[in-house]
Amino acid sequence: MIGVGFVYLVAGAFFAACALMGIADRRWANALFHGLLALSFVAGDRIGDLGNGVLVLVLVATATSGRMRRGGPAEDASPRGPLLALTLVVPAAALGGTLIFQRVPALVDPRQATLLALTVGVLLALALCHLLLRPAPLDGVRAGRRLLDEIGWAAVMPQLLASLGAVFAAAGVGEVVGRLTAHAIPDGSVLGAVIVYAVGMALFTVVMGNAFAAFPVMAAAVGIPLLVRQHGGDPAPVAAIGMLAGFCGTLLTPMAANFNIVPAALLELRDRHGVIRAQAATAVPLLLFNIVLLWWVVR
């Protein structure tokens, strides 16, 4: 059965290629950073907890050393060929692959269907780019490496913050939050539970910087005990809409540095928080829409 190991292998191969290119360019810190990421993807389950802990510490030390260099100048990016169609290959493959893979559980792990479909979509788009545009064999990897160097350490923030959410869940933070919010929700009020759940997802995301970190807390506090168990809501839309509410918080926080601060730096905006200011007009109405949608689904 094909599982998440395939995704880890593809990601590890990409980071390994970036590390080798960093060595060739004598960007030693970048090469070490990417090499450690490759090791974590390819052999993370073999080096044990202690090995992974040491790996993360070295990653952090490398990222904060100030020795990681930014990417070189962008190569000619003038439009060539059906670029728009090629960009749509990835989401189309992710959607179609998810629907197909879930029907062949003997071949593909249905729990990882979307992630596997997304990976296949990336590989398919890369293959079509080479077939139609005829770039040099490693141009795709070089472009990815350059972008990764521009982003730097912030590229791993989603994984780190998601891990933080798992730590909070294991520590019982969700249960504590649940006891605190219980006093703010009128007994039997679906709308009250929905508002606390959605707004809580947005606020925790603002603090943590990532909806994946906020979700275990708010799901344990409100989503599962109230919306699912007490009011009989379907877990799938409760989880999905809750994540969308969390993403509204992502649009509003500098803690989501890889989304909001890094782009401002790459675009050399005068206002460091210009991206956040531009997104606020979308985030607030979208949060209100998610609250109404979740209330309609659960009631």
Alpha carbons 248 and 145: distance in angstroms, whole number = 29
Residue 101 lies in a domain: yes
> Are 100 and 215 in a shared domain?
no
> Are 142 and 183 in a shared domain?
no
Q: What is the mean pLDDT of residues 166-187?
A: 78
> Are 23 and 144 in a shared domain?
yes
pLDDT higher for 195 or 69?
Answer: 195
Query: Does residue 149 surpass a pLDDT of 90?
Result: no
The string of DSSP letters for 208-220 reads HS-HHHHHHHHII
pLDDT of residue 88: 86
> Are 148 and 179 in a shared domain?
no
Query: Does residue 23 surpass a pLDDT of 60?
Result: yes
Residue 201 lies in a domain: yes
Residue 167 lies in a domain: no
Residue 218 lies in a domain: yes
pLDDT higher for 67 or 266?
Answer: 67
Find, among 208, 159, 165, the residue nearest to 37 by Cα.
159
> Are 134 and 12 in a shared domain?
yes
Find, among 117, 127, 290, the residue nearest to 211 by Cα.
290
> Are 135 and 176 in a shared domain?
no
Please tell me the least confidently modeled range out of 17-21, 147-151, 202-206: 147-151
> Are 106 and 10 in a shared domain?
yes
Query: Does residue 73 surpass a pLDDT of 60?
Result: no
Residue 159 lies in a domain: no
Residue 161 lies in a domain: no
pLDDT of residue 175: 79
Q: What is the mean pLDDT of residues 7-12?
A: 92
Alpha carbons 186 and 190: distance in angstroms, whole number = 9
Residue 296: what are its φ and ψ, rounded to 5°? -65, -35
Query: Does residue 294 surpass a pLDDT of 80?
Result: yes
What's the pLDDT band for 74 if we cut at 50, 70, 90? low
Please tell me the least confidently modeled range out of 4-13, 34-43, 77-86, 277-286: 77-86
Alpha carbons 176 and 67: distance in angstroms, whole number = 41
Alpha carbons 272 and 262: distance in angstroms, whole number = 9
pLDDT of residue 38: 92
The dihedral through the CA atoms of 176, 178, 179, 180 has a sign that is positive
> Are 226 and 273 in a shared domain?
yes
How many separate domains does the chain show?
2
Residue 125 lies in a domain: yes
Segments forming the whole domain that contains residue 180: 172-298
> Are 59 and 107 in a shared domain?
yes
Query: Does residue 80 surpass a pLDDT of 60?
Result: no
> Are 139 and 197 in a shared domain?
no
pLDDT of residue 167: 78
Mean pLDDT of the chain: 84
Q: What is the mean pLDDT of residues 218-223?
A: 88
Whether 53 contacts 72, CB under 8 Å: no
Which of 105, 121, 152 lies at the terminal end of a domain, its last residue? 152
Q: What is the pLDDT of residues 239-273, one digit of tens each?
A: 999 999 999 999 998 877 767 777 776 677 788 78
Residue 27 lies in a domain: yes
pTM: 0.70
> Are 293 and 252 in a shared domain?
yes
> Are 9 and 144 in a shared domain?
yes
Which residue shows structure tokens 């009631």?
299
